A and B are shown apart, each in its own frame.
Chain A
Amino acid sequence: MFGGNLLVNFGSVVAVILFGIGFSNLLLQKNLIKKILGLNIMDTAVYLFLAEKGYIDGRVAPIVVDGVQDVTAYINPVPSGLVLTGIVVSVSVTAIMLSLTIRLYRRYHTLDLDEISTRLKKEGL
């Protein structure tokens, strides 16, 4: 069932496990802030996966030094740009989620999702 590259790809393995930890946090925590932390752990796992996929053994970061413009000298620059996009989007999404949490807290004085939904039901919404 398992292919032969599990140990060579240990960076991806760590990223996948981190992703799973973040996802279970998202599902199991009742506290809204901890759910957001879980989503951020998932983001981090994706950055790790992308950075690990872009790396090539023995090569340096893609900044031209001494005019060397050989493909065999530098790592893949595309995943680095993708990680940048991911970071920006995750910052924005985290900010919006945290502000929604603040609104909920101001109204219900709790961060517990069960309590919030019970109150919502009681209010008939």
Chain B
Amino acid sequence: MKNNRFARWFYGEDDTLIDKVEMKPQKERTPPERQVRRLMQEHERLHEHIYEDDNRKLWLFDKIYRIASVLFCLTFISILLVTVSWLPPSGSANNPGSNEVSARYIEKGLQETGAVNIVTGMILDYRAFDTFGESNVLYVATCAVLILLRLDHDEKRKPGDLTRSEAESNDRIYEPKNDMILQKVAGFLVPLIMIFGIYVILNGHLSPGGGFSGGAIIGAGLILYLNAFGFAKTERFFTEKTYKWVCFFALTFYCLAKSYSFFTGANHLESGIPLGTPGAILSSGLILPLNICVGLVVACTMYAFYALFRKGGF
């Protein structure tokens, strides 16, 4: 009984993880002592300077600021509460929000857009321009994060900045690399998550879901894969170039497709895009390709945010 591996591990006689999991030796970087002392001194001096009683004015300002902000928040909440108490009762059908616009979406949505899911029909057909703006907001946000967090490969760097290789070596100080449990579970879960995400995107016009939620699911699957297998494996199929081209083609296709349908719609022309039978997977005209575009942009954005925050690059 005591000879099998589980029992040995249970009684602490040997560690099954040794030689199986690649552990980075958890050696903390020890900066030179003088530098540490200088930093500590500066920190303490600043701390005293800010918070101790000798800085009377700042202390007074701090107290007044705290009291004023609590009072402000309470006043704000009570004003809003008074407003809420005069709002029409929620859940009633005669609210001013349920006006002719939503009635039109519900009554004519299926015939005009072909989408069974009225919300999808609304955001990707009646209000497709708004959704185009949202996709662009995600893309621009990734660009801004890229500008702020991107680390360079080469050594010519500004003082205080990390290089990419330093960030990569810092990445694994506190966790083991190639964790076997994580890899086994990820190998089983990632395909399922991907298939579920693709299902949610492709059924966006038939059931709850669509490009945004499906894209977020696929992004989560990519992040799990990255966590389990590391950057070297994901860079085989997802690099900065992939991100650039996928986002470029998705956004351009969205823009051209919707420009065409707006042009024909505004000039009362036949668009020539078949709506299909409602309920079939290949139906509802442009909504399915637009959902795929939005899903690609969202999935890439999720993964890009994670990679940029973790390593400063893809």
For B42, the closest partner residue in chain A by CB is: A119
Bound Cα distance from A92 to B74, whole angstroms:
29
Could you list some 22 contacts between A and B, CB below 8 A? A2-B85, A9-B85, A9-B90, A13-B81, A23-B73, A55-B91, A57-B93, A63-B117, A69-B109, A72-B93, A76-B95, A77-B105, A81-B130, A92-B137, A95-B141, A99-B144, A102-B148, A102-B309, A107-B160, A114-B50, A115-B47, A118-B46
Within 8 A of A (CB), among B2-49: 39, 43, 46-47, 49
- In whole angstroms, how far apart are the Cα atoms of A71 and B97 in the complex? 13
Q: Which residue from chain B places its CB closest to the CB of A8 in the assembled complex? A: B89
Range of interface residues on B (Cβ < 8 Å): 35 or more
Q: How far is the CA of A105 from the CA of B46 in the complex (A)?
A: 16
- In the complex the two chains form, what is the Cα distance from A91 to B141 in whole Å? 9
Number of interface residues of A (CB under 8 A): 65
Which residues of B are at the interface with A, using a C-beta cutoff of 8 A? 39, 43, 46-47, 49-51, 66, 69-70, 72-74, 76-77, 80-82, 84-93, 95, 97-98, 101-103, 105-107, 109-110, 116-119, 122-123, 127, 130, 134, 137-138, 140-142, 144-145, 148-149, 160-162, 207-208, 212, 278, 305, 308-309
A73 vs B309: C-alpha distance when bound (angstroms): 45
**A5 near B144: Cβ-Cβ < 8 Å:** no
B148 touches A100 (CB 8 A): yes
Contact partner of A88 (CB less than 8 A), chosen from B137, B145, B148, B162, is B137
